[in-house]
Amino acid sequence: AQAAYTDAVSQRDAAAQGVVVAQAGLNQAQANVVASRAQLEQAQTGTQTTQIKSAQAAVSAAQVQAAAAALANAKLQESYTLITAPIDGVVSKKSVNVGDTIQTGQPLMAIADQKHLWVLANLKETQIRNVRVGQPVDIHVDAFPHVVFRGNVESLSPATGATFALIPPDNASGNFTKVVQRVPIRIAIDPSSDPQGLLRQGLSVEASIDTTNH
């Protein structure tokens, strides 16, 4: 009986020890669960924070793009405030003043291109037989009678001046009177022959074309 009692006590002590070990394992498991939940919550919080930061970054990028577009548009609008002439020259007529409001297509000023002067001569149709492009021309201006300017034939019109007149002649009425027609030719003035810039647009001239070289 004593042996049986001793054996029972030993089994009880072993069971109690097992309970202690099991309780310790349970406590550890519970601690692991708490730690895992904390890590999960932290991970979820971090994900949300990352998403928020990503959203904020996207908003900031969109704002930067919008600001860049607004800046580009402002620069474009500013460029419209500067009007440049298509050629170099001298202002010969001004149609607006400082502070005036202007409209699209409104003439602002007239510019005289002093570097590319030319003469429009209307030759009789009987005078153009030997006229060719490139032939030299002596030009005499009434304002400077003692100065000879040089030039050359630049082009001959393919039609008479009457062809493109506002009211072209009409012979349907029976008017068969012969009228000598005139053909416009353009004579380019050599800038080197006017180093002082004496010539002005609109002056009356006499042109002598050297037709021997044709």
Classify residue 153: in a domain, yes or no.
Answer: yes
| pLDDT for res 14 | 56
**pLDDT for 185 beyond 80:** yes
Classify residue 97: in a domain, yes or no.
Answer: no
**pLDDT for 1 beyond 90:** no
Are 124 and 201 in the same domain? yes
Higher confidence at residue 55 or residue 142?
142
For residue 134, what are the domain limits? 112-209
DSSP line for the chain = -HHHHHHHHHHHHHHHHHHHHHHHHHHHHHHHHHHHHHHHHHHHHHHHHHHHHHHHHHHHHHHHHHHHHHHHHHHHHHHTT----SS--EEEEE---TT----TT---EEEE-TTS-EEEEEEETTT-TT--TT-EEEEEETTEEEEEEEEEEEEE-SS-GGGGSSS---GGGS-------EEEEEEEEPGGG-TT----TT--EEEEE-TT--
Closest CA to 144 of 187, 206, 198: 198
Classify residue 124: in a domain, yes or no.
Answer: yes
Classify residue 183: in a domain, yes or no.
Answer: yes
- Asked whether the beta carbons of 151 and 210 are under 8 A apart, the reply is no
Classify residue 127: in a domain, yes or no.
Answer: yes
Are 48 and 119 in the same domain? no
Are 66 and 119 in the same domain? no
Are 200 and 118 in the same domain? yes
First-residue to last-residue Cα distance in the chain: 155
**pLDDT for 35 beyond 70:** no
Classify residue 158: in a domain, yes or no.
Answer: yes
User: What's the rounded Cα separation, in Å, for the pair 148 and 137?
Assistant: 10
Classify residue 96: in a domain, yes or no.
Answer: no
- Asked whether the beta carbons of 20 and 12 are under 8 A apart, the reply is no
Task: Among 82, 104, 124, identify where a domain stops.
Answer: 82
Q: State pTM to two decimals.
A: 0.54
Mean pLDDT across the chain, nearest whole number?
A: 78
Are 135 and 179 in the same domain? yes
Are 48 and 116 in the same domain? no
Are 11 and 53 in the same domain? yes
For the segment 117-167, what is each residue's pLDDT rounded down to a tens digit? 899 999 888 888 899 999 999 999 988 989 999 999 999 888 877 676 666
Classify residue 189: in a domain, yes or no.
Answer: yes
Are 58 and 122 in the same domain? no
**How many C-beta neighbours within 10 Å does residue 200 have?**
13
What is the CA 61 to chain-centroid distance, rounded? 27
Minimum mean pLDDT range among 33-47, 81-95, 106-120: 33-47
User: What's the rounded Cα separation, in Å, for the pair 164 and 166?
Assistant: 7
For the chain, what is the domain count?
2
**pLDDT for 182 beyond 80:** yes
Spell 116-153 as b/e; 16+ CB within 10 A means b.
Answer: ebebebebeeebbeebeeebbbebebeeeeeeebebeb
Are 124 and 163 in the same domain? yes
Domain CATH code at residue 127: 2.40.30.170
For the segment 93-113, what is each residue's pLDDT rounded down to a tens digit? 888 888 888 888 888 888 888
| pLDDT for res 176 | 63
User: What's the rounded Cα separation, in Å, for the pair 118 and 154?
Assistant: 9
**Predicted confidence band at 53 (pLDDT cuts at 50, 70, 90)?**
low
Q: Which are the contacts of 12, defined by CB distance < 8 A and separation ≥ 6?
A: none
